Structure 1
Amino acid sequence: MTDKKYNIKVMSKQDLALAIDWAAAEGWNPGLHDIESFYTADPTGFLVGYLGDEPIASISVVKYDDSYGFLGFYIVKPDYRGKGYGFKLWEAGLAYLKGCNVGLDGVVEQQGNYKQSGFKLAYGNIRFEGSGGGAKPEGIGLVDLCELPLNEVLDYDHAFFPADRQRFLQHWIKQTGSSALGIKQSGRLVGYGVIRPCRNGFKIGPLFANDALLAEELFLALRAKASPSDNIYLDVPEVNLPGVALAEKYNMEPVFTTARMYTGDIPAISVSRTYGVTTFELG
């Protein structure tokens, strides 16, 4: 049973910083500077459950537009699990996204619970861990993504995401300590990726490219931004077999999997050209 003192509120930035710390404690390895990108995406799309004056549960329900939202950061502090607090927050989050097709990347063990709330499995994702370093490829049309007009990046991104995410991307590609690279051919963007510092090492995400060779060149350029002593991570849709092969080619090892699920139809996005998911928290 939930306590009458349990209140659900829209997160402040301070609350979101705490939720990111909780995610780190769960082993999700968030980025060091994710907060601005996340909060900007939808400042009212992060909810926190307070028991009295103590924050005990979090969920993100970022609404990109009236048709699509993404659920993440679903965490209850260990001492308060199994008491209904998380479910109340879950219900509030889904109510906020009413009318949207809702996506999530959840732990596989919770698939059954998510199905009871109307989510259907689309495919799995695999997080791979490897090492940074290596030589940066030359002569392939690499460009600094931050020097391109944002609309050019957004136009390319539309093939990989079900909604416009300008507010998110304009911060994501300029995160402190990150590198955002693209490849242009015949004046057109044919792939882009971002590597950012995390609590442990660096994550590459997204990694989008028109074919496997371009994805590999981008991967190598981004990997070279980290040192050989740094861990790097890449979250690959398991249905993208060339993406899985790319991770394995560079001796990356699987460390865990997630289930990509939706409440509505599977969006018509290019999973076959998605070699790295942007972020499990916001899609």
Structure 2
Amino acid sequence: MSPEIRPMTRDDLSHVLDWAADEGWNPGQSDAAHFIGADPEGFLMALHDGAPAAAVSVVRVGPEHAFLGLFLCRADLRGRGLGTAVWTSGLARVNGASVGLDGVVAQQESYGRAGFQRHHATLRFAGSVPAPAGRLVSRPFSEADLADALALDTAATGFARAPFLTGWLKNAPDRHVRAIHIGGHLAGYAAMRRCRVGWKIGPLHARDETVARRLLDDLVVLAEGAQIMLDVPDCNAPALAAAEALGLSQVFETARMWTGPAPGGDTALEYGVCTLELG
């Protein structure tokens, strides 16, 4: 008998993020509210005896691309086909799209059998580092920055995700979003959100390494000594150098994989991935 599969509510997504926390994924404190707005029909849950059992998100990031994440199954219900059922339903919803994901090393072979091909690695850097001396160089991100930031996001990732980023790039008590302008133009921006442990940075998009490093320095000041985490595409050597220069250490890696052509993003602009769940 096939399980019931339905779109998640925001409360469902909060429940799934608790599962993610149990797996050590350390989600952001307000991720449920932001994630669900990316593609409300893209978050699916399988039920077992009427209770949440397995989940996946397959969120459209453009007319020809989608991104898969939050593939989870309750530990006590694994091996019953619930994960396979919700996975299949999620991919069917975006049939014809090239689908991406960030896969942990242990699952990359399995994803390969499912038709995903490796594009590059994404390396997680983390640490608690002392704040650099001096005043903040960046300024708070404002609504006036949004159009240029969306254009820079598309240039860096190939994604079109204005509804999601419009909310994600708003300053809040649990979120710092900073921008740097040069010659009256947006040269870079970065968001940092409070997680269950420490802070995660992402996205961090910059026209060059100098701007990226200045944004990182300011975010370190705002983190006030707490742990920070940054996911960096390994094909961006200046981004790796910036993370290492800050004193962060690599703690694990995933692989960015696609079932078809990758979007035409320029990873030279991407110094920090937005999230491993949504790309």
TM class by shorter chain equals over 0.9
Superposed, 1:88-103 pairs within 5 Å as: 88-103=85-100
- Is residue 240–residue 271 contact of structure 1 (8 Å, CA) maintained in 2? yes
Shifted more, 100-109 versus 239-248: the winner is 239-248
Deviations 1:38-77 (A, max 9, x none): 1111110000010111111010011133311110000011
Normalising by the residue count of structure 2, what TM-score does the alignment of the two structures yield?
0.95
Question: Identity, % of aligned pairs?
Answer: 40
> What one-letter code is carried by the residue in structure 1 that aligns with 2:44?
L
Equivalent residue of 1:148, what SS? helix
Query: In the alignment, does 2:140 pair up with 1:144?
Result: yes
Which of 204, 208, 212 lines up with 1:215 in the alignment? 212
Shifted more, 159-168 versus 90-99: the winner is 159-168
Normalising by the residue count of structure 1, what TM-score does the alignment of the two structures yield?
0.93
Which of 185, 190, 194 lines up with 2:191 in the alignment? 194
- Measure, in 1, the Cα distance between the counterparts of 2:229 and 2:237: 17
Which of 75, 79, 84 lines up with 1:78 in the alignment? 75
Aligned to 1:66: 63
Equivalent residue of 1:224, what SS? helix
- Is residue 68–residue 162 contact of structure 1 (8 Å, CA) maintained in 2? no
> What one-letter code is carried by the residue in structure 1 that aligns with 2:242?
L
Equivalent residue of 2:164, what SS? helix
Q: Give structure 2 stretches of 5+ with no counterpart.
A: none
- Measure, in 1, the Cα distance between the counterparts of 2:71 and 2:133: 38
Superposed, 1:155-170 pairs within 5 Å as: 155-170=151-166
Q: Give structure 1 stretches of 5+ with no counterpart.
A: none
Which of 2, 5, 10 lines up with 2:7 in the alignment? 10
> What one-letter code is carried by the residue in structure 1 that aligns with 2:111?
Y
- Is residue 5–residue 52 contact of structure 1 (8 Å, CA) maintained in 2? no
Query: In the alignment, does 2:262 pair up with 1:260?
Result: no
Equivalent residue of 2:253, what SS? strand
> What one-letter code is carried by the residue in structure 1 that aligns with 2:252?
F
Aligned to 1:42: 39
Relative distance call for 1:95 and 1:5 in structure 2 (3 A) is closer
Shifted more, 146-155 versus 39-48: the winner is 146-155
Aligned to 1:273: 269
Deviations 1:109-166 (A, max 9, x none): 11111112211100111111111551375585x2321242422221222202223211
Equivalent residue of 1:281, what SS? coil
Deviation at 1:241, TM superposition (A): 1.7
- Measure, in 2, the Cα distance between the counterparts of 1:136 and 1:73: 39
Aligned to 2:223: 226
- Measure, in 1, the Cα distance between the counterparts of 2:143 and 2:159: 23
Aligned residue-pair number:
278
- Spell out structure 1 runs of 4+ moving beyond 4 A: 136-140
- Is residue 32–residue 199 contact of structure 1 (8 Å, CA) maintained in 2? yes
> What one-letter code is carried by the residue in structure 2 that aligns with 1:192?
Y
Deviations 1:1-57 (A, max 9, x none): xxx262111111111011111111111111001112111111100000101111110
Superposed, 1:14-25 pairs within 5 Å as: 14-25=11-22
- Is residue 137–residue 217 contact of structure 1 (8 Å, CA) maintained in 2? no
Relative distance call for 1:215 and 1:99 in structure 2 (3 A) is same
Relative distance call for 1:135 and 1:12 in structure 2 (3 A) is same
Equivalent residue of 2:41, what SS? coil
Equivalent residue of 2:276, what SS? coil
- Measure, in 2, the Cα distance between the counterparts of 1:133 and 1:36: 31
> What one-letter code is carried by the residue in structure 2 that aligns with 1:271?
T
Equivalent residue of 1:196, what SS? strand
